[in-house]
Amino acid sequence: MKHILGFILILTVFITGCSDNTSGSETVEGEDWSPEQSIEIVAPSGAGGGWDTTARMAAKILEEEDIIGQDIGVVNKTGGGGAVGWSYIAGREGSPYNLFVTSPPIIDVPLNGNSEYNHEDFTPIANVIADYGAFAVRADADWDTLPELFDDMLEDPSGITVIGSSSPGSMDHLKFVRFAKAYGVDVQKIKYVSEQDGGELTALLNGSVDVFSTSVAQTVEQVKAGEIKVLAITSEERLEGDVLSDFETAIEQGINETYINWRGFMGPADLDEEVVAYYEEAFRQMNESDAWADVRSQYGWGDMFLDSKEFKAFLDEEKKETEILLQELGLSE
């Protein structure tokens, strides 16, 4: 993980030094290719999750800022921790009008044997954000910090149920496991429930589960409403913003671990180079816009732009790191 964070830091410094941030945007006009029909972005999950929110916010900014001069629709393809959506995109090989939003499950799910497709079966276009995880419980729960939760799990790891949006052995599961392992919990005995149709919060609030492993953005409104509390977040430092700045990091609580939920866009296999160049420039313009900066601030997302080549290199490295973790935990195929 530290190796990945160093990789990101180097890229961020390079990109920051070479970028010229502008507040205005112009429609991207490719020298060799521009879209001539509407574009579909697949969110491989239900409505309201991180993939869905990222896809819809990106489509909104790309249209409203007139960066892409075509209609952009977002379609939800749920199931398999993302595998259903990936299968759908895999069937559109070479199509310049089908994109999808992606994040760590494109690495995790194939490695634990739950998808025949992995990141190498698609075309990386651009990564756009760094999101962070949060571990939430009901507002009336006995735990106020992550160490308090883990102290109980040291005695009875399987007596506490954790829920997440991703499949077992994937993002929401692995990030909780990473922090529990750092504290000394027997991670192979953790009871994890996968809920991919948007019922995670309901399950938490009705007492069916004890802990919700999710993204920071998915907790804010419920914290404001007094329904849940966040035990800790996975960033290195506290985030800025209303409510967000109140969330303590695990590091502050003595657990020396972090987790980044990167999120970007890919297309089908065998996209022409000019198509990749067009979309890469479109997402670059989106990333540099004031409108996207406002979206990042709203959801507590960090700026982590990687172009197509950088994104591919990052994915390859992430796969190596995740393989090691899954093997250590006995969660690999």
Q: Domain extents for the chain?
A: 2-131+261-329, 132-246
Answer yes or no: are the C-beta atoms of 96 and 271 closer than 8 Å: yes
Same fold, 2-131+261-329 and 132-246: yes
**Angle at the Cα of 225 (from 101 to 55), degrees rounded to 5?**
10
pTM of the complete model = 0.77
**What span, in angstroms and rounded, lies between the C-alpha atoms of 180 and 147?**
9
Q: Residue 318: which H helix or E strand, with range?
A: helix 308-329
Domain 132-246 top-level CATH class: alpha beta
**What span, in angstroms and rounded, lies between the C-alpha atoms of 269 and 86?**
11
Q: Tell me the CA distances in angstroms from 121 to 41, 117, 165, 271, one per residue in order.
A: 17, 6, 23, 11
Token code pair at residue 6? 């160093």
What amino acid is encoded at 314 in this protein? Answer: F
At the topology level, CATH places domain 2-131+261-329 in D-Maltodextrin-Binding Protein; domain 2 (3.40.190)
Answer yes or no: are the C-beta atoms of 285 and 66 closer than 8 Å: no
**What span, in angstroms and rounded, lies between the C-alpha atoms of 208 and 190?**
16
Answer yes or no: are the C-beta atoms of 33 and 278 closer than 8 Å: yes
- Note down pLDDT in tens along the chain; length 333 residues: 544 545 444 444 444 444 444 445 567 766 689 999 999 999 998 888 889 999 999 999 999 999 999 999 999 999 888 999 999 999 999 999 999 999 999 998 899 888 999 999 999 999 999 999 999 999 999 999 999 999 999 999 999 999 998 878 888 999 999 999 999 999 889 999 998 777 899 999 999 999 999 989 889 999 999 999 999 999 999 998 889 999 999 999 999 999 999 999 999 999 999 999 999 999 999 999 999 999 998 888 999 999 999 999 999 999 998 888 788 777 665
Q: What are phi and psi of 208, to 5 degrees?
A: -70, -30
